[in-house]
Structure 1
Amino acid sequence: MGEHLIQRLGIHGDGVAEGPVFVPLTLPGEVVSGTVEGQRLAEVKIVTPSEERVAAPCRHFRSCGGCQLQHASDGFVADWKVAVVRDALAAHGIETAFRPIVTSPPASRRRATFAARRTKKGAIAGFHARGSDAVIEIPGCILLTPDVLGGRDNAHALALLGASRKAALAVAVTASRAGLDVAVTGGKPADVTLRQELAALCEARGLARLTWDGEVIALRAPPAQVFGPAEVVPPPGAFLQATQDGEAALVHAVREIVGDARSITDLFAGCGTFSLPLAAGARVHAVEGDAAMIAALEQGWRHAKGLQRVTGEARDLFRRPLLPDELQGADAVVIDPPRAGAEAQIAELARSGVARIAHVSCSPVTFARDAATLVRAGYALDWVQVVDQFRWSPHVEMVGAFTR
């Protein structure tokens, strides 16, 4: 067993020693010992701990795979996440101002996907163990809101009804104004008996909606989400920002970037996270590849009061990005692509001449790549707001303010 100096954290939150050798649950500057197995260190012992090392606040941290950074101080994690974004931009020769990071508090995650598995004696529901397919119970999780954590009991009951012994269910639980919105994948085929049992469970447990492998089994009450002045009922499994605090920080940054724009185009609009709040002061054209999300957005707008006109368009922006002539009427553009970024759409934005672009991203690497395209076309990256919705994980989100 040799000793190794942890030089930095990798993008997945593991410590990296010379080699590279990846050492989970370690911090830069620490000296550790262990046995090298491939590119990982096994039987890890901390010889010299970092001053940034803290006692993990959650009793499940060592076994649960849901969090990766509870052993680090809040200040270290905040600085590291900002540095990840700064370094990604620096790799393209871009420097900019960074606003103070906004970090969501504990017990604020309003959605989670539980793993639920049948066992010989019944069922088990929780998260996957660290580095394993095994499912462990996490009754003391400090990441989730209390109602979402309570959804673990529903996942347990759903596994008893409809899980096979061969695979775990994925039970996505989202908090809504009407109760929990639950979407299950990986279950047994829903025959008449199972549908009846699932509908009865939904009623007995007061779920807002229960979806089984894409089929809505029961709808007790529309599971509405609030976007600005509007209430929207997303389709099952639709994307939703992880925390209300994080969503508010992103919306605040986007509002500042678009400023007094009177006409805004919102690309990868989802169900209206940005479109509907911005419609309080501007006309908005929302474009999203999922037609069901656009339909939910439009219905939310129709029932809201005090909003300017919102138009929706279902369009695959990877294959058919909006072209410069289609962007001519926009004073500002908001773009919030998935992790892969939006290379084709960014290329068209770079040619468009739109005065202001609010670029929201969940990937520092693709954000920096797309930022470089815009900068080469004459845009300035005025500032970046980093948002940490996924507390204690290596995930990071950001908003960039681009102006001509």
Structure 2
Amino acid sequence: MLTRRNLLQAGAALGVGTVMKPTSSAQALKIQMSSGEVMKTKGLVDIDEKLPTNPASSAKRYRPTSRMGLGGLAAGNGFNTISSDEEILTMLNAAWDSGIRYFDTAPFYGLSLSERRFGDLLRNKDREDYVLSSKVGRILTPSAEPLPKRWHWANHSPFHYSYDYTAAGTRRSVEDSLQRIGVSSLDIVFIHDLSPQNSDFGADWLKYYDEAVNGAMPELTKMREEGIIKAWGFGINSPHAIYKAVEVADPDICLLALQYSILEHEEALDKTFPLLDERDISVVVGAPLNGGYLAGRNRFNYSSLIPDPMKQKFAAIQDVATKHGIDIKTAALQFAEAPATVSAIIPGARTSQQVHENVAAMKVKIPDAFWDELKSKKLIAQNAPTKA
């Protein structure tokens, strides 16, 4: 059994484990990291603690073994930040060496760039040793013209995209992803960005939804029955498609981005999760750090516009975290992973240091009193699950 001293020594070995001094709310609001900085993990880190996993097969539907995964948006030069192939491969190797065995990517991330870079790691691994998910809904075609500036891919691959939620388009998209990544199979396929929040769709999103009802949804069910994939669902930034689709289709798992974080979680807890629980559908939490905001970035949910209420809530939670010797990022990652509905969280990373800090955050013992204080101050919902 590790003592407090050994825990601190273990944390020091990782470059983490320092106990913070209390700061004021005003100081907490000033926490903002540049693109090259990383928020350090604070608290007692047990380096012998394993990353959380799902039980072997208590659920009827497929769930990834690992509850701690890696999101692939940054590997596609997301947020217009350029990383080299070598930098991303170093990060991916750090994730693998840290015990991460669930990897999520998409054709849209850098217009194939993320999938290709993930393949640089995964094609050299035993296919049974990891879980891999990608997405369908966009078909890529060669084009040397850059995308409009409204999309946040720096130096993306020379492709454009068109939407295709038909059965044929879905099967082609899966086959294209396998070739780009260089692997024999996907475990999970998410129908991507089928949402009114998709700026390409707006009010027309139901037209694409209807196409998916008759195309992508039954085709993915067929591919699951054929054994080509193990599970399918939706990868979306709002729950609209899920609310409709559970009545007409049979998804297994859904990637909910921007919908369950320590800052925003009430709708998911009160409406989305209960609906999914009735059908044994699990959730992969995307963007558990609100697009980097909870790791100190000047960016909230993929935007530089940060709502004042979120700034105030960030500062208040950071104050409580500091009081209890931890940091807000650690609290946010463990909060997102806690619900039974959740089968995995997939924070993104661009550097190996970000990976190490995120992994360390999952190995910090957070005091019960921290969660109690957040609830007493109404900073998180009273029914929000937390782990002792």
TM-score by structure 2 length?
Answer: 0.32
Between Structure 1 and Structure 2, the one with more strand by share is 1
Larger radius of gyration: 1
